[in-house]
């Protein structure tokens, strides 16, 4: 009778259990981050708030470029937001906040893009200090806020067509206003 060695299978089984456990806890972590973010108001630095309080639009979209990501790389993606801006400008204020200690090099880079939406430079990292509830992962850095700055949608509609469909539904955009992703 041949003896079967199960020790190799035990290692695979243990590894599978660990991976499933990690995925489970990661899912809980993401769900809790999102729930926590939805339950807190987002505060804008005073200078940014002054620039948009004159409008009576029901929503504002905030793209935050944090100092934890490649700022120059993210600035170079800003032209991709032009279609989004054009299709939503009647429904919301769109603004970009760049948090970086090296803000002196970015205004020229942004000026060369000829963007129609406001871009604010936050060298003191005030946006982050006011909003510690926003996780560091960039997937949480595009927010649709209501008129009281409570998050309505979290996620980037320009680089995720599923998120864009949610934006379109909330903002009441027509089919012909859909972005070309």
Do 54 and 33 reside in the same domain of the chain? no
Q: What is the largest CA-CA distance in the chain?
A: 85
Rg (CA), the chain: 21
Tell me which residue range forms the domain holding 79. 42-177
Contact 165/171 with Cβ under 8 angstroms?
no
Do 32 and 71 reside in the same domain of the chain? no
Do 12 and 51 reside in the same domain of the chain? no
In this prediction, residue 3 carries a pLDDT of 61
Average pLDDT, the chain: 81
Do 33 and 51 reside in the same domain of the chain? no
Q: What is the CATH number of the domain that holds 116?
A: 3.40.30.10
Do 15 and 104 reside in the same domain of the chain? no
Do 106 and 162 reside in the same domain of the chain? yes
Domain tally, the chain? 2
Do 155 and 108 reside in the same domain of the chain? yes
pLDDT band at 15 (very low <50, low <70, confident <90, very high): confident
Q: Which carries the bigger pLDDT value, residue 48 or residue 73?
A: 73
Do 99 and 150 reside in the same domain of the chain? yes
Q: Indicate if the pLDDT at residue 60 is higher than 50.
A: yes
At 98-142, the pLDDT tens digits run: 988 776 777 788 888 899 999 998 888 899 999 988 888 888 899
Do 10 and 81 reside in the same domain of the chain? no
Do 18 and 84 reside in the same domain of the chain? no
Do 83 and 46 reside in the same domain of the chain? yes
Strands (E), 49-176: 59-65, 92-98, 119-121, 142-146, 151-154
- Residue 101 DSSP SS3: coil
């Amino acid at each position: 009778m041949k003896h079967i060695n199960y020790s190799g299978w035990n290692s695979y089984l243990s590894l599978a259990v660990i991976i499933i456990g990690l995925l489970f806890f990661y899912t809980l972590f993401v769900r809790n981050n999102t729930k926590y973010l939805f339950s807190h108001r987002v505060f804008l630095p005073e200078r940014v708030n002054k620039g948009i309080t004159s409008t009576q639009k029901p929503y504002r979209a905030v793209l935050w470029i944090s100092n934890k990501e490649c700022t120059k790389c993210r600035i170079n993606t800003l032209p991709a937001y032009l279609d989004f801006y054009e299709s939503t400008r009647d429904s919301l204020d769109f603004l970009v906040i760049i948090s970086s200690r090296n803000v002196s090099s970015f205004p020229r880079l942004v000026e060369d893009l000829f963007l129609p939406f406001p871009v604010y430079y936050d060298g003191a990292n005030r946006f982050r200090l006011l909003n510690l509830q926003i996780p560091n992962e960039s997937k949480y850095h595009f927010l649709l806020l209501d008129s009281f700055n409570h998050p309505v949608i979290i996620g980037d509609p320009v680089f995720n067509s599923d998120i864009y469909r949610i934006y379109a539904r909330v903002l009441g955009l027509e089919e012909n206003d859909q972005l070309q992703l």
